[in-house]
Chain A
Amino acid sequence: MSEKERKFLEVRGLKKSFGSGETKQEVLKGLDFTVGKGEFCVLLGPSGSGKSTLLNILGGIDSADAGEIIINGDKLAEMNEKSLTRYRRKHLGYVFQMYNLIPNLNVKENIETGAYLSDKPLNIDELLKILGLYDHRHKLPNQLSGGQQQRVSIGRAIVKNPDILLCDEPTGALDYKTSKEILQLIEEVNKKYGNTIIMVTHNEAIKQLADHVIKLRDGKIRHDTINKDKLTATEIEW
């Protein structure tokens, strides 16, 4: 991996606080880390540790008070609203805990909403097969289970083949079995398409899947480790 690829995502002195005066609450207290290209990075931490805020800032939908984020050489802080949207469009995919699918579009059409954003999207039918949704492609979201809906949501994010896939507690609303299936899917996607994946979770077990684990607590990085003995999704338990 070249130096540039190693520092595909670079975070320097990142700070963020909410409120003002006496109610001011510092959520991120100066974070520094890098994520390499194609890495599966897990941001781990308890509730209120600032991991979702960090993910939102990385995704350009929230802004930092100080510090900088450089993704593939582009400084996020220097981008205006329009450039940020363009940036998200071209380079980022988002998966949320709640699937946020469009209720009156079927599975394939929901994935097409992601494909539309890319000039060179992945083959949707093939993706549907990978996602295990090909037979359900004509169903509406309310005809699917939670796990299937999350698959659709991952499909929508991945179909534009983004450089970075940001996942905010993607298994948070799912049961054990389905969570494992989803994690397996994310793992497969990472392998097949080589996207950099940054996943926020409070589930300690998931860190075993990751190439890179960043533990947050009280807005600070407590551990930043490279996982040399990563497991597969089928191997982990919690």
Chain B
Amino acid sequence: MDNKISFGKRPKNPLNKRVWKDILRDWKRYLMICLMLIVTIGFVSGMYVANNSMLYSMDKNVSEMKREDGHFTLSEIADNATVKAIETGEMADVLAVYRERAYNEAVVEIEKSLNEVFKNAKDSEEYKKALSDATEEAEKKINEDIDEKYTEIEERYELNKKFEPVPVSVFELLYKDTDEVLQSKINYSGTIRVYSERVDIDLYDILKGRAPEKENEIIIDRMHAENSKIKIGDILKVGNTDFEVVGLAAFSDYSALYENNSDIMFDALTFDVGMTTNEGFERIRANTIANYAFMYNVKPADEFEEKEMSEHFLKSLITQTAVSDIDNLEIKDYVPAYANQAMNFARDDIGKDKAMGGVLLYILTAVLAFIFAVTISTTLEQEASVIGTLRASGYTRCELLRYYMGAPLLIVIIASIIGNVLGYTVFKDIVAKMYYSSYSLPGFETIWTPEAFIRTTLVPIVLMLVINAFVITKTLKLSPLRFLRHDLKRNKRKKAMRLPKWKFLQRFRIRVFLQNIPNYIMLLIGISFVMLLISMAVGMPETLSYYQEKMCDMTFASEQIILSSTEDEYGNLISTETDGAERFSINSLERKSDSYNEEIPVYGIESGSRYVNISPTDYGSVYISKAFAEKYNVHPGETIILSEKYEHKDYRWTVYDIYDYSAGVAVFMENGQFNMEFNKKDGEFSGYMSDKQINDIDTKYIAKEITTQDMIKVADQLDHSMGAYMQYFQYVCFIVATIILYLLTKIIIEKNENSISMTKILGYENVEIASLYLIPTAIVVLFSEFIAIYIGYKLMQFFWELIMMKMSGWFAFIMPLSGFVKEFILVFAAYLVITVFDFIRIRKIPKVLALKKME
């Protein structure tokens, strides 16, 4: 032999080549995981891109479309002087104006009465003295009364607190609410809010057609038009006037069609917004609502400043309307932009979707990372001798960690790249389409944001890295010697559990079960994750249809009419002959919290009511509805605090009992107590409630009519927005369940490959082996399903409550027995499909495998 030694170059790490070989060798597993990641990352990335683009367009629209900073509605159209005064943003000196008005009135009254007494002696000293005395007396009385009244108002509106004038520009934004009937559609009718031509404020994005130019033309909301199948060229009966639809638009102040800001949910199905020319507006026969939009002259820097400015402006508005020359001018509504649901709901919801999509991605990545980790730990066991040899030869733990992390990282990187490409191209449009089918959104341009890439690439990679690193490092910490001896169990093997004297095959199965407990725990986690998804897919439509069907039975009266005044113009009490109609009172208060202020109706019910069966309670004690109790976790004996919406006045009530009413969050008390609590006169009421339709009250006296249909608006709208997707989502869940079960049962069979091979050598047939190894897994799947159904249901209940806490109203998450059965069948069907694969897998395990290992 030639003794000359020749040296070569240090090669690149050959283990790197092996990563690709590993992936190719087990391509089915990697493909499944990769596909799941690609679809999820693609969808979430698409969601981020669509969301960010949509949010960007919406924000841009705020300035470009001159969106209002808020609006207020007055009892009648204000005169120029009042508008100008409001625009100053200054607080009016209510005290001085009231005094002056009262003095003037008093002087006129005094003079009138003295004139009768001193008909012929107006210049007499006596007259002068009497006038002076009476005036002095009246002044004193007026001062006392006004001071007392003002102190109360000052306290209520915090007028004495620090105030900074907030100058604004006020724009007339009058509208008319009336019926909308589509000529060509017999069964369709809805409500439309028609605005006159918008020029300076709250502009609109025309998505199809054009703006109205003639008096018989109208442009309406695109979302509503799509829902109601209204097309350009259709004739729309607005009130009793015909208009031709010439355009479809997104109004900048109506991204979600909320009829009233206090509505539980927007309603793009029966509520529409439109705009005509000024002449067209005049043609509509309906009351004109004195609505005004305003813009701050100096824009607030942030939302806190905006809130503060809004509060200051409200003070100015209250005082300026109070001193207006128009008698009894009242503020009917005040909605600053930040509290306007029509403007903010879509934006908030889109933001929430992003958060939810992100969480879903992270959960799925974590589950897949665990599947990877379990797969790798099986590989570590199988390759223990090789690892021991490499470690003994000088390979560091880090080098081996890097190698074993290679495949999962590579897969997640590939999935991220493909997913992001799909997200930016295909899924973005799918998500945008979903939003367009729920909200009245303007057109959007795609914004290329790094956020989507970071969140859908970096976060999954980090998750994959951390979870796998944790599991692999734990095993790699063992000494090389233990690897060489295949001694990888952290805890020393306990003594074999003694089993009862059952049949051999039964005991064998129990041994298989005991041996695979860690894998079965993984299986339970996987099934629980799937069940959570299926709970959402099955439970959400079930909940909505439950409420849609049961709402009629749940409401205490199918019709509630709130009167604008309880007396007609002649001073007669407005009454009804409708059988079973009862008087009731209602007031809307707010339950304030950091996350969401919910408007809650407080009912005053007639004593011995047939609709709401409550006993008289003490002053300060009330009943709350079951929905209230469930939503805010309130129990009898506890105190609730509700506040006036525009006044700083709180009501503290002790909960006397829970009233079994699930259709809404509400407070009940007897009418007498109601009038005392709200400082109303004895016998006062707000309207009538009845199970029969009330037809004998003139509509001009009706301020609001609440029917069962109004109460299921939330369910209808949610069903419309999500119902169809949930059906598809159920199929997706089935596929996800199949893939996860495939991956997990594959691991279990791989771990038992050697034993299966050995049983084959011993002469067992494939069917017998399958019964030994598949039956324990099937039983585990069966039991896991029951546990997972419960876990999934509880988790979904938790998430549902989180969603509901951000909305008005309350639906408990309902899952009927049939829903649970459906969940069970979906997962078990997925398992049955996988069992076929598992059987094929068992059949393919060669006998020689065990023999090779024996060497």
Contact = CB atoms under 8 A, between A and B. Distances in A.
A98 B2 CA distance: 30
Given A116-B14, A121-B10, A96 B5 contact: no
Given A104-B22, A124-B8, A191-B1, A94 B14 contact: no
Interface string A169-186: 000010000000000000
B479 interface: yes
Interface in A105-127: 105, 109-110, 112-126
Interface stretch (A8-16, A26-34, A56-64, A230-238): A56-64
A100 B388 contact: yes
Given A61-B480, A96-B484, A122 B393 contact: no
A119 B7 CA distance: 10
Interface in B1-30: 1-3, 5-15, 17-18, 21-22, 25
B394 A92 contact: yes
Contact of B393 (A82, A93, A104, A188): A93
A157 interface: yes
B484 A105 contact: no
Contacts of B13: 116
A238 B395 CA distance: 37
B14 A112 contact: yes
A110 B346 CA distance: 60
A106 to B, nearest CB: 9
B318 interface: no
Contact of B8 (A90, A100, A113, A123): A123
Which of A123, A146, A161: most chain B Cβ within 10 A? A123
Size bracket, chain A contacts: 35 or more
Interface string A142-173: 00001000000000110011000000000001
B391 A89 contact: no
B386 interface: yes
A85 B22 CA distance: 26
Given A104-B22, A122-B5, A192-B3, A89 B11 contact: no
Which of B394, B480, B481: most chain A Cβ within 10 A? B394
B13 to A, nearest CB: 5
Interface string B828-855: 0000000000000000000000000001
B393 A105 contact: no
Interface string B375-403: 00000000101101111111111000000
B6 A126 contact: yes
Contacts of B383: 102
B21 A105 contact: yes
A86 interface: yes
Contacts of B22: 104
A122 B8 CA distance: 5
A118 B393 CA distance: 11
Contact of B394 (A86, A101, A123, A146): A86
Contacts of B385: 96, 98, 100
Given A122-B6, A191-B1, A192-B1, A115 B11 contact: yes
A161 B5 CA distance: 10
A7 interface: no
Nearest to B3: A192
B393 A119 contact: no
A104 B3 contact: no
B402 to A, nearest CB: 13
Given A100-B388, A112-B11, A105 B17 contact: yes
Contacts of A94: 389, 392-393
A145 to B, nearest CB: 12
Contact of A59 (B1, B8, B392, B397): B392
Contacts of B393: 88-89, 92-94, 113-114, 117, 156-157, 160
Given A90-B394, A94-B392, A101 B386 contact: yes
B403 to A, nearest CB: 10
Nearest to A187: B1
Nearest to B393: A94
A85 B484 CA distance: 16
Given A105-B17, A173-B855, A100 B389 contact: yes
A4 B486 CA distance: 38
Contacts of A117: 393-395
B394 A191 contact: no
B18 A104 contact: yes
Interface string A40-52: 0000000000000
Given A116-B12, A173-B855, A123 B7 contact: yes
A130 B1 CA distance: 9
B495 to A, nearest CB: 15
Contacts of B484: 61, 96, 100
Contact of B7 (A85, A89, A109, A120): A120
A59 B9 CA distance: 26
A132 to B, nearest CB: 12
Interface in B143-167: none
B484 to A, nearest CB: 7
B5 A115 contact: no
Contacts of B397: 85
Contacts of A115: 8, 10-11
A91 to B, nearest CB: 9
Nearest to A119: B10
Nearest to B387: A100
A59 B385 CA distance: 16
A187 to B, nearest CB: 10
Contacts of B18: 102, 104-105, 109
A100 B1 CA distance: 28
A28 B432 CA distance: 74
A157 B393 CA distance: 7
Contact of A124 (B11, B25, B389, B480): B11
Contacts of A100: 385-386, 388-389, 484
Contacts of B15: 102, 113, 116
Contacts of B5: 122, 161, 192-193
Contacts of A191: 1, 3
Interface string A55-85: 0100101100000000000000000001001
Interface string B450-490: 00000000000000000000000000000111001000000
Contacts of B8: 115, 121-126
A114 B8 CA distance: 12
Nearest to A188: B1
A114 B388 CA distance: 14
A74 to B, nearest CB: 15
B293 to A, nearest CB: 71
A122 B21 contact: no
A105 B14 contact: yes
Which of A92, A109, A110: most chain B Cβ within 10 A? A109
Interface string B387-421: 01111111111000000000000000000000000
A116 B395 CA distance: 9
Given A105-B14, A112-B14, A85 B389 contact: no
B850 to A, nearest CB: 15
Contacts of B11: 112, 115-116, 121, 124
- 7 closest A-B pairs by CB: A89-B394, A123-B8, A100-B389, A112-B14, A88-B394, A123-B6, A100-B385
7 contacts: A61-B479, A109-B14, A116-B13, A122-B5, A124-B11, A156-B393, A160-B394
Given A59-B392, A121-B9, 4 more contacts: A89-B396, A92-B394, A105-B18, A113-B14
